[in-house]
Amino acid sequence: MDTQRLVLFFVFAFSILMLWDAWQKTQHPPEVKPAQQSQSGIPAPAATAPAAVHPPAVPQSKPGDVPAVTVPSSAVPAPAAPVAGAQALPRERIRTRTDTLAVEIDSLGGDIVYVELLNHRDTLDQNKNFVLLGPEHQYFAQSGLIGTGLPNHRTPYKVVEKEAALAPGKDSLEIKLEAAGPEGSKVTKVITFHRGSYVIDVRHHIANGGPGPIAAHAYYQITRDGKSPAGETAMLQTYTGGAVYTDQEKFLKVAFGDIDKNKAAYPKTADNGWIALLQQYFVAAILPPEKTQREFYTRRLAENFYAAGVILPLPSIAPGASAQSSVRMFVGPQDQDLLQAVAPGLDLVVDYGWLTVIAAPLFWLLQLFHNWTGNWGLAIILLTVVIKGIFFPLSAASYRSMAKMKLVTPRLTKLREQYGDDRMKMNQAMMDLYKQEKINPLGGCLPIVVQIPVFIALYWALLASVELRHAPFYLWIHDLSAADPYYVLPALMMASMVLQTRMNPTPPDPVQAKVMMIMPFVFGVMFFFFPSGLVLYWLVNNILSIAQQWQITRMIEGERAVSAARR
């Protein structure tokens, strides 16, 4: 096998590897050994809720006892029945705003039904803010209590305290809602927002005003349809689905398709960890307190509609006593610095795939250069220069080999003509020629092989890093994470690849020569759909390679001329 065939092999292998990598990332998330499915029976949203039933009472516990986490299916809460003689509570939308979020809360259940991220623009219309939670994907944050007569996310609440906006000088604001519990008990739901934060605190406070103890569990869940976010293409698909993290099993994806097939595998109970729904660049996560028993669950609520949540136990509440349950939620961008500060392992939602070991340091270096230059495009150029410098010895050896190959190409063509169809003799003669001229026929392929993992790692780093979303470069490039709108960079990259091909030795085989001339155009068309930041990296890499190859070829030719003159 000669050098040109090896180059072709690696080119096609690279294309297949890219497609396989994208398919693996979206279709086959990691799995763990199956565990027993939850019997939580959390109620479905109102649109798909079953008819009201009257379940048996939850067994009562002694005061101070903490109930088991797993909730029996007989304790499924029905929608709250109206109190005889009482007026129906009016349904209300509570709108509030901080410096990072614009939020709407529905008084029916106290659900968070709309979250707009004020510091992030919409994917398709950058004149608008990005909406993460909202009706477009039925993306809601719901919570409630499990226990006889306790309110759930289909129970009407009364709004007792609300603030329209975070006041100057204040670090937080609260929305308070109240609902009646069993036999004179009262439940208060408090939703707290913080300045400069995407964390939302949700707390249930139960005051037992009845004659007997109350046994209860609290649940918190996020619902969403299974559709990909706007702006995704078949060429650039990313993961949309669930994820669970625990200290023991670490980060595990829970694909919507596995939930449909009842094959979702993840730890069901733990005293640490979180559950989340992910999409490109953004995450909604439920973060229970550490060292608190919890049960994770996922459910298919309807066709292409899912829930992911957690159940927390409460201690038995004696008459006249009270108890509360609370979680934090993170609803915002997958900014690694923010995520690391919020909860252990939350930064793992920024998923670089199977080449994380390469992608993570690449992005760290990219951030360092961005801090120096203030421009992500310049940071990519500097990163390219650094990577090129690291691979310089390999590249130099490669270009030396190709320069020598170019000089002996006429002799290789003569050998093909001399031996005709006798491939064994022809290959032996070619190997003798390589040995005589000290040419390594594999030398031109090694840099390509080594750089393939780097390229794929950078590809996923650009797709997964929200920091590069809508990051401008110069002139017409307003978003380095999106394709070049005018295809200028791919066209320039295609031209650079054509120039590189012409600088390389022409294969003696006419078919191979034609294939080598076509490949730049095939790759160029593929790059039309890649993020412009990635195309920028490849273009700069090609320019540096052309300069290096030209210089080395000139040196080799000069050495040959001097050697010939001495003879």
* Residues 6+ away with beta carbon under 8 Å from 254: 29, 241, 242, 243, 244, 264, 265, 266, 298, 308
Mean pLDDT of 524-533: 85
Percent of the chain residues topping a pLDDT of 90: 50
84 within domain boundaries: no
Higher pLDDT, 396 or 382: 382
Q: CB under 8 Å to 459, separation ≥6 — which residues?
A: 18, 530, 531, 534
The mean pLDDT of the chain is: 81
C-alpha 431 chain-centroid distance:
48
Instruction: Please check whether residues 460 and 559 belong to one and the same domain.
Output: yes
The answer as to whether 77 is a domain residue is: no
Give me the residues paired with residue 295 across strands: 269, 311
Burial of 320 (0-12, 13-18, 19+ CB in 10 A): exposed
What are the pLDDT digits (tens) for 260-307? Answer: 999 999 999 999 999 999 999 999 999 999 999 999 999 999 999 999
pLDDT tens-digit series, residues 154-197: 999 999 988 889 999 999 999 999 999 888 899 999 999 999 99
Domain boundary among 330, 351, 372: 351
Domain termination residue (choose one: 320, 351, 382): 351
The neighbour count for residue 295, using CB atoms within 10 Å, is: 22
Q: Quick check: is 82 in a domain? A: no
Total domains present in the chain: 2
Q: Is residue 68 part of a domain?
A: no
397 and 284, same domain (yes or no): no
Provide the pLDDT confidence category of residue 36 given band limits of 50, 70 and 90. Answer: very low
Same domain as 268, residue 125: yes
Q: What is the pLDDT of residue 35?
A: 35
Q: What is the mean pLDDT of residues 122-132?
A: 93
In this structure, the answer to whether residues 437 and 296 fall within a common structural domain is: no
Range of the domain at 280: 94-229+238-351
Closest CA to 113 of 47, 63, 208, 69: 47
In a domain, 88, yes or no: no
Tell me: do 297 and 392 sit in the same domain.
no
377/339 same-domain check: no
How many Å apart are CA 373 and CA 368, to the nearest integer?
9
Residue 69 domain flag: no
In this structure, the answer to whether residues 337 and 444 fall within a common structural domain is no
CATH at 108: 2.70.98.90
Which amino acid makes up residue 449? V
User: What is the mean predicted confidence (pLDDT) over 41-51?
Assistant: 40
What pLDDT score was predicted for residue 391? 82
Reported in sequence order, the residue ranges of 343-478 that DSSP labels E, i.e. its strands, are none
Residue 18: is its pLDDT beyond 60? no
| pLDDT band (50, 70, 90) for residue 460 | confident
Residue 73 lies in a domain: no
Residue type at 422 in one-letter notation = D
Comparing 331 with 88, the larger pLDDT belongs to 331
- Please tell me the distance from the alpha carbon of residue 184 to that of residue 207, in angstroms, as a whole number: 9
pLDDT of 107 > 70? The answer is yes
Both tokens of 467, joined, read: 């920091």
Q: Tokens 């273009």, residue?
A: 539
Tell me the residue ranges of DSSP E strands in 255-387.
Answer: 269-270, 274-279, 282-287, 294-302, 305-313, 322-333
60 within domain boundaries: no
pLDDT greater than 50 at residue 19: no
Same domain, 333 and 395: no
User: Residue 505: its pLDDT value, please?
Assistant: 65
Co-location of 277 and 301 in the same domain: yes
Neighbouring residues of 528: CB distance < 8 A, sequence distance ≥ 6: 483, 484, 487, 490
Alpha helices in 191-335 (DSSP H): 256-260
CA dist 464 and 21 (Å) reads: 14
- What's the pTM value of the predicted model, to 2 decimals? 0.79
Domain boundary among 351, 385, 406: 351
Close Cβ partners of 70 (under 8 Å, ≥ 6 residues apart): 38, 39, 40, 269, 295, 311
> Do residues 345 and 394 both lie within one domain?
no
Residues 395 and 497 in one domain: yes
Q: What is the pLDDT of residue 408?
A: 73
Which pLDDT score, from 0 to 100, does residue 88 have? 56
Q: What is the pLDDT of residues 395-449, one digit of tens each?
A: 777 777 776 676 777 777 777 777 767 778 777 777 777 777 666 665 556 666 7
pLDDT in tens, 309-349: 999 999 999 999 999 999 999 999 999 889 999 999 999 99
Whether 10 shows a pLDDT value over 80: the answer reads no
The pLDDT of residue 251 is above 80: yes
Whether the pLDDT of residue 83 is over 50: the answer is no
Give the pLDDT score at 91: 85
Among 108-112, 304-308, 514-518, the minimum mean pLDDT is found in 514-518
| Whole-angstrom distance, CA of residue 94 vs CA of residue 162 | 7
What is the model's pLDDT at position 73?
A: 31
Greatest Cα pair distance in the chain: 115
Residues 287, 176 share a domain: yes
Decide: residue 403, CB within 10 A, 0-12 exposed, 13-18 middle, 19+ buried: buried
pLDDT, position 447 = 62
Which residue in the block uniquely carries the two structure tokens 């709407």? 104
Lowest mean pLDDT of 113-122, 303-312, 451-460, name the range.
451-460
